[in-house]
Chains A and B, each alone.
Chain A
Amino acid sequence: MNRSRFALLATCVIVAFAGYRLGRGGNDATPTAADAVLFATKSTTLSSSGEGTDLLFPEEMAAAKADLRQRFADHVSPGQDWILRHRTASMLARMSAADLGRFAAELLPSPTGADPLAEWQADLLKEVYRAWAKKDPASACTGHANIPFTFMSRSAAFYDWLRRDPQTARVWLAEADSPQDPARTACRKWLLNNDAVTDFERAAETVGQLDVQTRESTILGWSWQLASDRDSRQQLAGLIAAQENPDFAMKCYQSLVAGAGMNSLSDSEELLENAALREADRRELFGRLYQNEVGRLANLDDAEERRARLSELYRTWQEKQPEEIAAWLAAMSAEARTHLESAGFGGDAGLAR
């Protein structure tokens, strides 16, 4: 290439660049520091996993944090906006683990503060913990655990870690010198809850090695968590019976029946029929079950269905527990009783006076 052609080529490059600058920014107000960070051309290498990203410069950090706060605070529902979440993850991927820990602390009230977080703060905090867990999962899962309101964010971070790298997460929890701090105990509980729905036998074996109090509180939690699944319920019933503690069994079945939920009344009845309960407790729980069902059916929108199902429920309960139903109705105000009767409870004959 001769010299004049080279000079022409070089001039073309310069002119093209000048044209680019004119087109790109000629009419714009100066972008803010945050814009520069959020829309940085460097971000062509960004990925939400945080791999291969450039960390923010210190002078960019404050602007980026302020911008994220603003975007979340101004949003009608930031935790559900996937575009915002994606961009936030990309931005947070450019912060170090230590920076993310500091950012989380800045979003939180003081350890003694009792003011709840605003919804947007909780949403942003969860994103920060998730980004933190990608860089330093152990720190994220236990970070700022002494401050209320980190529970949900820490559990999200732990579940992400458990999904991405279950082996390391389990090893970390099983470490011999693992301290028995409340944060790690919470992680152990989340792991057990995960195992209870994916591998009940493994979870039951682990829970059997815990001290009585922790074991019982964990099983009590499962009574709520597993109540809607038939197979899990049966396995859990076996575990409850194995504890050989009738008071504890009563508490568990209270949760199973009233707390989380069977998919049908007959499921609940079957569960109670076969439960390892004292007879008085069984009768009491049947009573509560029917009372709850009355409340649920009385709120049905379809008047015809409401009447039919309340009438059927009345017959079932009357047949099974005539004394209990009489006592329950007797304790009711006249107004409530009339209301119930008009909704169909008692059938065509109505309730006996």
Chain B
Amino acid sequence: MDDRCLLDHYLAARDESAFRELVGRHLDLVHAVARRVTGNDELARDAAQTTFVKLARDAAKVPRGLSLAAWLHRTCRCAAVDLVRTEDRRRKREQLAHQHAPMNPTPEPEWERLAPVIDEAVDALPAADRELVLAKYYRNESFAGIAARLGWTEANARKRASRSLEKLRSRLSRRGLTTTAAALAAALPAHAVPSAPASLADSVMAAAAKTPLAPTLGFHLAMTTAQKSTAVAVLALLAAGWAGHAVGSARKDRTDATSHPIARASSDPRDGTTTSLRETEDPLHAFRELVAGRREAPWQVVSRIPAARIPALLAELRESFDQFPTGSADGSWRMEIESALLYRWAESDPRAAFEDARSQPESRDVLFRLRNQELVRGVLAAWMQVDPEAAYHAAKGHKVAGHLAADMLVRTWTVETLEDHLSRFGDERKSLVGVFCSAIQSDDRKREAMLTRIEQEPELPGRDWAKFRLFRAWGLRDFDAAIARASAMGFRDTVAQLLEDNLNIMPARAMPWAVEHDIAPDAKSWGNRFDGWLRSDATGARTWLAGQLDSWEAQGHREAVAELVARDLAHLRSQLAPDAALLDETSRQLKERIARWRAVDPDAPDRWIAGTPEVVREMLANPR
């Protein structure tokens, strides 16, 4: 039975055995924290006892999204700090410090430095990191156990724990305590939670057992009225301080949770900080209002729908698609809501949501195909936040989803940790390196870091493929910058590849670059490419061509001249309302240039004409 079940059991039936079990599980941790903060055995016992008394009293207030270990850690630390700050306790502590030997007679130097501040640093970590550090390094839970409990893969739990430890190290170093993550990983399990004194459990249970009762009657009767008044005032002040602290801590836990992507599922409208939706409102009623357009903000409504209801609501929504087709404002709105529902489902059951998104019927309607893709992307976006590798493995066997998942997966990586990530992917390494390089090309910092590695590390795994994919993707986005950089790095094959790619895809950039770099126009291949330019920007293409014709003719590139002018003419004729003057001028020019060509090489124009498509031949025979 996990902690939450035991706590619920205790709450429901005041079941002492459940509480005892919880004390047994966490006493070592609580006492160890208390001992480090107070530096004293007696105070540590008091702090530990206070912590469990508070648990007995406030069990219902332990946030559901927080592990009991994390709650106890923070509560105990606060209780211990409060004790130490009390003036008379402080004096006692000073006296005792001289009388008692340290708890660990031969602490390791590393741990001796860390012990006084480690709990404060752990406590200041974001909630999800705190949970992981406590589970793995304080309580020695196995990665497999953590992964099973949190619904991750073991590899993911391992990776996240390592990141959390790194954050802890960073926080310590900001306090001037230089250490390494490896040293922490060794020191924490060894020292963070030594066994509590054997008798402590009984005294904790005894104190906790009394907690639900009113203040001791005998003590109450024995006091004078003045004493009673003082006692009541002191109790009231303590209660007020405690209550304020508890509220503040709870808010802090929620804020911590919202700042971490793992726990962000609870940082949305459901946490009550950013919503005006009444908690008590029926979420299904709100959903129908949303679909009908009487409400805005889909997530505000969808996030409160129980996950189990989502498949039925999706079916209901999809039935209305016929009535509100794609391409209409209402249809787009319903698809937005559908996407929010899938995202919500993916939070609780990503595999089922993925299966639903992936198995949507294929359609030849382009908008519907886009919608299918967006649904898969949305589910993966939700899943990737929790366990990117599991999401990738689920999607990789599917054509579109696999591409999307690979692209999202590599966006969670860094250049520096590339090999570490790749080492878990066997045969897929080469392909993932390529996807990674394509994905980072738009990020200046990551791209530069990768280029440096490509330049300086000839043994980098998949280096050539990485180079090819990085420059190809970069070149399609920013041809000038990419080709300039490839030239500067002396990558001749890359320069040729970039030019070839972009002549096909972005002739408006590549053709002028080629001409500037004295690359001769190839009549056959440039014709189709020039067609592409004419389709996207006819005026720009025509203006540029006009500037090249005479010099090309002078250089003897007469076939290219004829080919490109003929393409321009064909494009003009294909327009719904062609510009008659321009059509005449282009026809005249084509005839004149072919005539000049024939004058220097009588057979060549006919050979060229014979090789052109029928439509061009017909056009040359009758240009208008």
Whether B484 is near chain A, meaning CB under 8 Å from some CB there, is no
B377 interface hit (Cβ, 8 Å):
yes
A153 at the interface (CB under 8 A from B): no
Q: How far is the CB of B414 from chain A (nearest CB, A)?
A: 11
Closest-CB distance, A64 to chain B (whole angstroms): 14
Chain A residue nearest in CB terms to B363: A228
Given A16-B243, A19-B240, A197-B331, do A48 and B296 touch, yes or no (CB 8 Å)?
yes
Give the one of A160, A213, A224, A228 with max B CB within 10 A. A228
Bound-state CA distance A27–B245 (Å) is 12
Q: What are the residues of chain B within 8 A of A21 when measuring CB–CB?
A: 244, 248
Q: How far is the CB of B382 from chain A (nearest CB, A)?
A: 7
Tell me whether B364 and A82 are in contact (CB under 8 A): no
Cβ-based interface call for A316 (8 A) = no
Asked whether A86 lies within 8 Å of B299 as measured between CB atoms, the reply is yes
In the bound complex, residues from chain B placing their C-beta under 8 Å from that of A52 are 276
- CB closest chain-B residue, reference A118: B442
Task: Give the Cβ gap from A231 to chain B, nearest Cβ, in Å.
Answer: 11
Least Cβ distance of B575 to chain A in Å? 10
Query: Is there an interface contact between A198 and B328, defined as CB atoms closer than 8 Å?
Result: yes
Bitwise, A240-283 to B at CB < 8 A (1) or not (0) is 00000000100100000000111100000000000000000000
Residue B259 CB within 8 A of the other chain:
yes
A262 to B327, CA, bound (A): 16
A150 vs B259: C-alpha distance when bound (angstroms): 31
Size of interface on B: residues with Cβ below 8 Å to A: 80
Which of B248, B327, B385, B442 has a CB less than 8 Å from the CB of A23? B248
**Is A236 an interface residue, CB under 8 A from the partner?**
no
Determine if B267 is an interface residue (Cβ-Cβ < 8 Å).
yes
Q: Are A229 and B325 interface neighbours, CB within 8 A?
A: yes
Determine whether A164 belongs to the interface, using a CB cutoff of 8 Å to chain B: yes
Known pairs A27-B124, A86-B269, A89-B297; A76 contacts B384 (CB<8 A): yes
Asked whether, in the complex, the Cβ of A228 is within 8 Å of the Cβ of B330, the reply is: no
B114 at the interface (CB under 8 A from A): no
Chain A: CB-nearest residue to B269: A86
- Measured in the bound complex, the distance between the Cα atoms of B328 and A197 in whole Å is 6
Taking CB atoms, residues of chain B closer than 8 Å to A82 are: 268, 298-299, 302-303, 339-340, 343-344, 378
Residues of A within 8 A of B552 (CB): none
B123's partner among A27, A164, A193, A198 (CB-CB below 8 A) is A27
Question: In the complex, what residues of A have CB within 8 A of residue B233's CB?
Answer: 8
Whether A196 pairs with B408 at a CB distance below 8 angstroms is no
Q: Do the beta carbons of A85 and B299 come within 8 Å of each other?
A: yes
Count residues of chain A with CB under 8 A from any CB of chain B: 72
Q: A21-B248, A83-B299, A251-B576 are in contact. Are A77 and B276 (CB under 8 A)?
A: no
Interface: A217 (CB within 8 A): yes
Interface residues of B in 351-384 (CB under 8 A from A): 363-368, 374, 377-378, 380-382, 384
Residue of B269, B324, B363, B374 ringed by the most chain A CB atoms within 10 A? B269
Known: A80-B378, A194-B327, A225-B327. A17 touches B244 (CB 8 A): yes
B526 at interface, CB cutoff 8 A: no
Q: Known contacts being A12-B236, A21-B248, A82-B302, is A46 close to B274, with CB within 8 Å?
A: yes
Residues from chain B with a CB closer than 8 A to the CB of A162 are 329
- Contacting residues, chain B, for A212 (C-beta < 8 A): 577
A336 CB, nearest partner CB in chain B, Å: 18
Q: Is A303 an interface residue (CB 8 A)?
A: no
Residue of B nearest to A9 (CB): B236
Q: Which of B258, B274, B576 touches A86 (beta carbons < 8 Å)?
A: B274
A29 to B340, CA, bound (A): 34
When the two chains form their complex, are residues B333 and A163 in contact, meaning their CB atoms are under 8 A apart?
Answer: yes
Are A263 and B299 in contact, with the CB atoms below 8 A? Answer: no
User: A22 and B245: CB pair below 8 A?
Assistant: yes
Contact residues, A210-250 vs B (CB, 8 A): 212-213, 216-217, 220, 224-225, 227-229, 248
Nearest CB in chain A to that of B378: its residue: A80
Is B377 touching A80 in the complex (CB atoms < 8 A)?
yes
Q: Determine which of A35, A45, A77 lies in contact with B408 in the assembled complex, contact meaning CB atoms within 8 Å.
A: A77
Q: Is the CB of B365 within 8 A of A261?
A: yes
CB distance from A10 to the nearest CB of B (A): 11
Contact yes or no, B297 A48, CB < 8 A: yes
B409 contact set on A, CB distance < 8 A: 76
Given A16-B243, A83-B265, A198-B273 contact (CB < 8 Å): no
User: How far in angstroms is the closest Cβ of chain A from B278?
Assistant: 12
Q: Would you list the 10 A-B pairs with minimal beta carbon distance, nearest first?
A: A261-B364, A23-B248, A19-B244, A24-B248, A48-B297, A16-B244, A20-B244, A19-B245, A228-B365, A86-B299
B interface, CB within 8 angstroms of A: 78, 120, 123-124, 233, 236-237, 239-252, 255, 258-259, 264-265, 267-269, 273-276, 293, 296-300, 302-303, 324-333, 339-340, 343-344, 363-368, 374, 377-378, 380-382, 384-385, 388, 408-409, 411-412, 442-443, 477-478, 576-577
| Residues of chain A at the chain B interface (Cβ within 8 Å) | 8, 11-13, 15-29, 35, 39, 43-49, 52, 73, 76-77, 80-83, 85-87, 89-90, 115-116, 118, 134, 159-160, 162-164, 166, 193-194, 196-198, 212-213, 216-217, 220, 224-225, 227-229, 248, 251, 260-263
A–B complex contacts, Cβ < 8 Å, 10 sampled: A18-B241, A48-B296, A48-B297, A76-B384, A83-B264, A86-B299, A86-B303, A163-B329, A163-B332, A224-B366
Q: Contacts A81-B385, A82-B299 given; 11 further ones with Cβ under 8 A?
A: A8-B237, A23-B78, A23-B246, A23-B251, A76-B388, A80-B343, A118-B442, A163-B333, A166-B329, A197-B326, A227-B364
